[in-house]
Amino acid sequence: MKEIKVAVVGNPNTGKSTLINAIAKAKLQVGNWPGVTVEKKEAHLKSGDFTLVFVDLPGAYSLSPFSLEEKITRDYLFMEKPDVILCVVDSTNLERNLYFVVQLMELEIPLVLALNIFDEAKKLGYKIDLSLLEKLLGVRAIPTVAIREEGLEDLKKAIIEVYLEKRVPHKLSYGEDLEEILEMVRFQLLTLNPEVEVSKLSKGVLLKLLEGDQELFFKLNLRYHLDEIRKYLEHIERVHGEDIETYLTDMRYGLATGVVKRVLDKPEIRKITLTERIDHLFLNRYLGIPIFLLMMWLLFKIAFDIANPYVDFVDETINGPVMKWARVGLEFLGSPEWFSSLLLDGVIGGVGIVVSFFPVIGMIMFLVTLLESSGYMARAAFLMDRVMRSFGVQGKSFIPMLLGFGCNVPSVYATRVLEQEKERKLTMFLVPFMSCGARLPVYVVFISVFFPKASGTILFFLYALGIVVAILVGIVFHRVMYRGASSPFIMELPPYRLPTLRDLRVHTWIKLRHFVIKAGTWILAINLVIWILLNLPWKPEKPEESYLGKFGALISPVFKPLGFGDWASAASLLAGSLAKEVVVSTMAQIYGSETESQEEKTLNIKEDLKEIALNFLKKTKEALNNLSSTFGIATLTPKEPEEVKSLLPRLKNHFTPLSALSFMVFVLLYWPCFVYGIATKAEIGTFRLYLQAILLHTLVAYAFSLLIYQIGRFIM
Amino acid sequence: MRLSELKPGAIARIVAISSTGSFKKRLQEMGALPGEIIRVEKTAPLGDPIEITIKGYSLSLRKSEAEAIVVEVLK
């Protein structure tokens, strides 16, 4: 069976993603582009005698790349030479979309246009002369409505048709002068690169050389005479009074506009669109920000208050029945104790950590996708840019940062909404300063012992301190490391659109899968390392004798100036790199206050399963309760962790109120947990950012705790 | 006059882009070409960025970037 390679391209916000999801249905394969973590979607579909291989390329406004994603699109189109290009076009915005189409035509590859959102164009009263459009451009143009799966069969037929006919788009004339120059450039390239076939040197390639895209030429491995090229450029500037880039953009837009004038019949009087009406309210001078804050409160509440009971459910199921079954099974097999412990705590515990992130990452990615595909994300950026820009990120960064208060891990994934690599990394770097839900139990324990009367004030102080530190670090980074290099903010405000359920499902699932595959194995590995540190040399009599204890004792003097120089605090902080709430449970363990509850080991799988099901129902009820009962956010409501009740009185022997405050500040700011680190590695491909974060955040934490402790001592 | 100086509701024609490099190119590719007629729609509640209509769609850009667009006011 013959394969036809179809590259799917299009401007952002044209419904390209919906179209590819609708075409692929269950056949969608997801991976990453080599070397980067931009999503790559593919689908193999049989159609008649052919297999159509759709490759979804990132949305692009132009083949002169401005972002990493546009670079991928350019590289693929120029280097991989697909058999057919399928360009998704927003029928309500023909002119700018055709500008991109004109560039695609230069590649001289059979081209099919999907005139998407055709129903909306009709509603606006637009009449598009399809056959004239096809005739003028030498392409096939198929009207589609991706959200209702209309036009997809015609699209496939058109793709096969242009492939069989080898129908290359018309070569539009760029003016005698430029055409002559292009011929000379072609001749030069052929002379310098005798091994290259003429057919490889499309108009697009020649124009790229004139545009000065040397990076692409390096990748294409083509030799050229820069001096001669410069001569042509000077000629253009002299004769036309414009530099080549302006001249070319003008020329291409001129062609696009000319075509639109002939094929599009627009009504004289423009109706006020729904989008304009909504924006009148959402971007209103006085109401815009309050509405935004309300939306963000809702986002946060829905995400965490619904997801958290299920996190508990997963946790309880794995640490309860699943552990029990495994333990019984291991005993039955007569496994040695150390192996059982390794398997239960090290492996199953690690799997538990991975799985327990499902509800929260899934929920958040669902909501973030909803915000993005509905069009509100661009508005959020518009509203918040003024604030966020002052510390080196842009408006869209607000959302990952906000989600950070719930959990830093999904925030890392939420940074995908940022197109510019630099802003994305800086946002990721600042997210851990947002005090996540896992740090709350630590505060609660210490506050209830040392500051029972001022609990609200202290909590507020901690959260606020995190934000202030993030702003300070952001400003410093912005000023020092990336001085002046604020990336431009030229952003389309797309019309509001209803996303389809399939899109939401597909995108949420893709991110979850990515987390499991890319982060899962790392989380398992590190959990094992921690198990080793805690349990070796095998069965430490006292916690001090484990590697963790010894290491804690070794580094504890460092914390003396901060007010907590004992080995137990140091060891707890080390264990806290697993997840910050572990600080408390480790402390409880070390101070020997935990009484190991002997679990019954009778195996009754039926009873257990019933219990799991009942627990699931209970958690669902809890989630609904959280959502409806209070205006506050349940996730951020302090609750005393059950298992550490007996720890409370003992804390007074080891801490003073001042050193407790210093300790809490340290926990707030230090070493982001390793799941966060793995998420950043999964997203940007290296551990560098995490290592920098460990170093810098710990340093900042140290500085602030030192300041607080020493100033406090001075005052008292 | 510069685009950054216009108030919401103003309609203007682009005269020139006084910038260079990839920023200028991107502005032009988004439709900001000399001769193009644009309309200032809104200023964000906090005073920056602004929203304009260009080639029939909505584009947002910061004032510092709008400064690079030289315009002649029509209305």
Residues in B touching A283 (Cβ below 8 Å): 42, 44-45, 51
Residue A382 has its nearest CB partner, among B49, B56, B57, at B49
| Contact A487/B at CB under 8 A | no
As a whole number of angstroms, the distance between CA A507 and CA A521 comes to: 22
Q: Which residues contact A549 (CB under 8 A, 6 or more apart)?
A: A540, A542, A543, A567, A571, A590
Closest CB from B22, B48, B51 relative to A493: B51
Q: Is the pLDDT of residue A603 over 80?
A: no
A42: nearest Cα among A67, A11, A76: A76
The interface pTM score, or ipTM, of the predicted complex is 0.96
Least confident of A293-297, A614-618, A635-639, A647-651: A635-639
Examine the pLDDT at A511 and tell me if it is beyond 90.
Answer: no
What is the mean pLDDT of the segment spanning A411-419?
A: 83
C-alpha to C-alpha distance for A516 and A509, rounded to whole angstroms: 11
Name the token pair of A679: 């998420």
Angle at B22 between CA A418 and CA A106, to 5 degrees: 100
What is the average per-residue pLDDT within A660-684?
Answer: 91
Query: Which residues have a Cβ under 8 Å from the Cβ of A678 and sit 6 or more positions away?
Result: A519, A522, A523, A526, A690
Q: Pick the residue from chain A with its C-alpha nearest to B19.
A: A246
CA distance readout (Å), A282 to A249, A288, A293, A380, B51 = 34, 5, 11, 10, 13
Range scoring the smallest mean pLDDT among A335-349, A443-457, A637-651 = A637-651
E strand or H helix at A3: strand A2-10
Res. A430 pLDDT band, cuts 50 70 90 = very high
DSSP string, A174-214: --HHHHHHHHHHHHHHHHH-TTS-GGGS-HHHHHHHHTT-H
Give contacts of B47 with chain A, Cβ < 8 Å: 386
Instruction: Give the pairing type, strands B57-61 and A491-492.
Output: antiparallel
A490 → closest Cβ in B43, B45, B61: B61
Structure tokens that stand for A711 in this block: 């100033």
Predicted local confidence at residue A482, as pLDDT = 62
For residue A483, is pLDDT > 70? no
In A356-508, the DSSP E strands lie at: 491-492
Q: Which chain A residue is nearest to residue B49, measuring alpha carbons?
A: A382
Mean pLDDT of chain A: 87
**Least confident span in A142-146, A215-219, A306-310, A483-487:** A483-487
| Mean per-residue pLDDT, A503-524 | 83
Q: What does R_g of chain B's alpha carbons equal in angstroms? A: 11
Interchain contact B72–A (C-beta under 8 A) = no
- Please tell me the predicted confidence (pLDDT) of residue A396: 85
- Measured between CB atoms, does B53 come within 8 Å of chain A? no
What is the reported pLDDT for A4? 96
Give the pLDDT mean for A612-632: 83
For residue A597, what pLDDT band results from cuts at 50, 70 and 90?
A: very low
pLDDT of residue A594: 43
Question: B-chain residues within 8 Å CB-CB of A275?
Answer: 58
Question: How many domains does chain B fold into?
Answer: 1
Contact call for B45 and A288, based on CB within 8 A: yes
How far is A210 from A196, CA to CA, in rounded Å? 19
Q: Across the strands, what pairs with A28?
A: A43
The closest CB to that of B28, out of A95, A249, A488, belongs to: A249
Identify the residue with better confidence: A139 or A564. A139
What does the alpha-carbon distance between residue A387 and residue A401 come to, in Å, rounded to a whole number?
Answer: 13
Give residue A83's pLDDT.
96
The per-residue pLDDT for range A269-283, each reduced to its tens digit, is 777 888 999 999 999
Is A542's pLDDT higher than 70? Answer: no
Considering only A27-36, A164-173, A235-244, which range has the smallest mean pLDDT? A27-36
Instruction: Report the pLDDT value the prediction gives residue A479, as an integer from 0 to 100.
Output: 78
Whether residue A535 is predicted with pLDDT greater than 70 in this model: the reply is: yes
> Residue A372: which residues within 8 A CB-CB, separation 6 or more?
A417
Q: What is the pLDDT of residue A319?
A: 81
Contacts of A444 (CB under 8 A, 6+ apart): A638, A639, A640, A641
pLDDT of residue A523: 78
When mean pLDDT is compared across A132-141, A309-318, A329-338, A483-492, the lowest value belongs to A483-492
Q: What is the structure's pLDDT at A489?
A: 84
Asked if residues A483 and A317 have their Cβ atoms less than 8 Å apart, the reply is no
Compute the distance between CA of residue A157 and CA of residue A164 in angstroms, rounded to an integer.
11
User: Is pLDDT at A134 greater than 70 in this prediction?
Assistant: yes
* Residues of chain B found within 8 Å of residue A489, distances taken between Cβ atoms: 49, 60-62, 65
Whether the CB of A284 is below 8 Å from some CB of chain B: the reply is: yes
Chain B, nearest residue to A245 by Cα:
B25
User: Cα–Cα distance between A667 and A439 in angstroms, integer?
Assistant: 7
Region A218-243: mean pLDDT is 90
* Residue A300's pLDDT band (cuts 50, 70, 90): confident
CATH number of the domain enclosing B36:
2.30.30.90
Listing DSSP states for B16-73 in one string gives: EE---HHHHHHHHHTT--TT-EEEEEEE-TTS--EEEEETTEEEEE-HHHHTTEEEEE
Any chain B CB within 8 A of the CB of A484?
A: no
* Max mean pLDDT range (A278-287, A362-371, A576-585, A600-609): A278-287
Residue A288 contacts B where some CB pair is shorter than 8 Å:
yes
The partner residues of B39 in beta bridges, in order of sequence, read B11, B53
Mean pLDDT, range A480-498, rounded to an integer:
78
Determine the residue among B41, B58, B61, B63 to mutate to test chain A binding: the one whose Cβ has the most chain A Cβ atoms within 10 Å. Answer: B58
DSSP A568: H
Q: Which residue has the higher pLDDT, A268 or B49?
A: B49
Facing B56 at nearest CB: one of A66, A95, A289: A95
- Residues A77-122: tens digit of each pLDDT: 999 989 999 999 999 999 999 999 999 999 999 999 999 999 999 9
Q: Return the pLDDT at A545.
A: 75
Ranges A140-154, A323-337, A664-678, A690-704: which has the least confidence: A323-337
What pLDDT shows up at residue A645? 65
Instruction: Report residue A205 as tokens.
Output: 């390639």
A386 interaction partners in chain B (CB closer than 8 Å):
44, 46-49
Nearest C-alpha of chain B: how many angstroms from A165? Answer: 32
Euclidean distance between the first and the last CA atom of chain A, given in angstroms as a whole number: 84
For A518, how many CA atoms within 13 A lie in the half-sphere containing its CB?
Answer: 24
- The C-alpha atoms of residue A318 and residue A469 are separated, in whole angstroms, by 37
Contact A516, A544 (CB under 8 A): no
Nearest chain A residue (CA) to B43: A285
Q: Are strands B11-17 and A491-492 parallel, antiparallel or unpaired?
A: unpaired
Pick A492's closest partner by Cβ from B23, B44, B59: B59
* CATH numeric code, A2-165: 3.40.50.300
Query: CB B44 to CB A288 under 8 A?
Result: yes
Nearest chain B Cα to A90, which residue?
A: B57
Q: What type of residue is A256?
A: A
- Cβ–Cβ below 8 Å for B29 and A62: yes
Residue-number span of the structural domain to which B69 is assigned:
3-73
| pLDDT over 70 (residue B11) | yes
Facing residue for B46 by CB, picked from A62, A96, A386:
A386
In angstroms, the CA A279 to CA A154 distance is: 36
Of the residues A93, A247, A249, the best mutation for testing chain B's interface (the one with the most B CB atoms within 10 Å of its CB) is A249
Q: Given pLDDT bands bounded at 50, 70 and 90, which one contains residue A626?
A: confident
Most confident by average pLDDT, A219-228, A369-378, A487-496, B52-61: B52-61
Q: Would you tell me how many other CB atoms lie within 10 Å of the CB of residue A690?
A: 22
Mean pLDDT, range A427-439, rounded to an integer: 91
Average pLDDT over every residue of A340-367: 83
A212 — alpha (psi -120 to 50), left (phi > 0) or beta?
A: left
- Per-residue pLDDT averaged across A257-264, rounded? 96
Across the interface, whether the CB atoms of B30 and A492 are under 8 A apart is answered yes
Q: Looking at residues A505-533, what average pLDDT do you find?
A: 81
Q: A488 touching B, CB under 8 A?
A: yes
Beta strands per DSSP E along A288-388:
none
A323 pLDDT band, cuts 50/70/90, is confident
Q: What is the mean pLDDT of residues A557-576?
A: 88
How far apart are the CA of A282 and the nearest CA of chain B, in angstroms?
A: 10
Cβ contacts below 8 Å, chain A against chain B, sum to 102
Residue type at position A544: E
Dist. CA B39–CA B75, nearest whole Å: 9
In angstroms, the first-to-last Cα distance of chain B is: 13
CA distance B45 to chain A (A): 4
Residue B15, chain A, CB below 8 Å: the answer is: no
- Look at residue A533 and give its three-state secondary structure: helix
Band of the pLDDT at A643, cuts 50, 70, 90?
Answer: low
